[in-house]
Amino acid sequence: MIKSDKKLIVRSKDQGKQLPVTSLDFSSFTTTWEKNSSYQLTFTAYDDGGLAFNLLLIENSLIWDGQEYIIKQATDSYSSGVHSVQVTATHVYYQLNNRRQYDVNKGDVSFTLESALSFLFAPISEFHYVLHGDFGSSQTLTDFGNCSITDGISTLSSPFGVYAVVPDNYTVHLYSKANWVKDTNKAYYYRHDTSEVSLQYDSTVIVNRVRVVSTNEVQQFDPFYVTDDDSIKQWGIHDGDRVENDKDNNTSANVATANRMMVPQPSIALTVNTLAEDIEKGELWTLVIPENGIQTKVQVVSITDTPFLPNTKQVSLNNTRQNFLDTFNARSQELTKIKNKVASGYRQPNMWVIGKVDEK
């Protein structure tokens, strides 16, 4: 069942031709957005002899839901007399991967986020940026420049606290966390508006001990460890990459660097298949799984949808320490209940018991 009246438009690179794609395989059309990572659409179309099909060529544009995408991959397939093309197109923002600021600010230079972006975007005229939020005071950047525009934005994100980079065609919006996250006071309830929930736990990311060493020819200080003792007590030792200092014994800076490398808890990747349609980027929802008593605040960080088919929206939710603790504590409480039942003589029906068989 087709549920959308939106049209996919293809436009030639010279903008001389613009037509709706009429030979689209609706079931194959998928949109994907992931915060600060990807923004694309994929689909298959069949050769109907029309001009629109023949415009599905790399570097031509696609217009969908008010946004422009550039065809980056197009695969022609011929099978059983049928000609089709599989298309992957990325948001026009990613054209900035191929645009550069070649100039360099040599040495340590103080920038505000506004002045750094003004310098970064100086060589291009068709793209613009807008700031949303408080990004603090000036920061010192070393040899800033000679980079692609997207790499430059990535470089600026950490020192200035840019939480989300969201393109709207040729305008790049940069948000602080306070201005990006929107609490909806809504909830995903498993088996109500959420048909599937996946919670994938991963302990390989844990880092709770970091060694700090002097790499100067003349050792400036004795090596030492920075540790998260609570994490070590719970999960054992998980060493991270060492912190190297080749200049002097700035202990506070060494410790701060080591602490930034700490990941004291396992990660949890939360994904839901949801019937809810009114889901927007950056929204904060509450995920509720009544069976296990799980209730945790989650932020929408990825949306994958097949908009022409019903009930196909998949949402990935943020992965925070609090999410892990909420779900882990719920699982621990469930385990405690089972242990208490066993201790009180409860025996699950139809359970196989493995043990020794007495010979008669």
- Rounded average pLDDT over 214-240: 90
Band (311; pLDDT cuts 50, 70, 90): confident
Residues 196, 117: one domain? no
Looking at residue 171, what is its pLDDT?
97
In a domain, 20, yes or no: yes
Relative to beta strand 313-317, strand 294-305 is: antiparallel
The more confidently predicted of residues 204 and 116 is 116
Residues 142, 170: one domain? yes
Question: What's the mean per-residue pLDDT of the chain?
Answer: 82
C-alpha closest to that of 45 among 88, 102, 90: 88
Q: Evaluate if pTM is beyond 0.95.
A: no
Band (183; pLDDT cuts 50, 70, 90): confident
Could you give the CA distance from residue 66 to residue 77 in angstroms, rounded to a whole number? Answer: 29
Residues 176, 322: one domain? no
Residue 115 lies in domain: 99-180
Residues 87, 145: one domain? no
Residues 248, 318: one domain? no
Identify the weakest region by mean pLDDT among 135-149, 228-242, 308-322. Answer: 308-322
The more confidently predicted of residues 111 and 200 is 111
- Rounded average pLDDT over 16-33: 93
Residues 118, 21: one domain? no
- pLDDT tens-place string over residues 94-121: 999 999 999 999 988 999 999 999 999 9
85-118: string of b/e by CB count within 10 Å (b at 16+)? bbbebbbbbbbbeeebbeeebeeebebebeebbe
328 has a pLDDT exceeding 60: no
What CATH number should be reported for the domain holding residue 330? 2.40.10
What is the number of structural domains in the chain?
A: 4
The more confidently predicted of residues 224 and 183 is 224
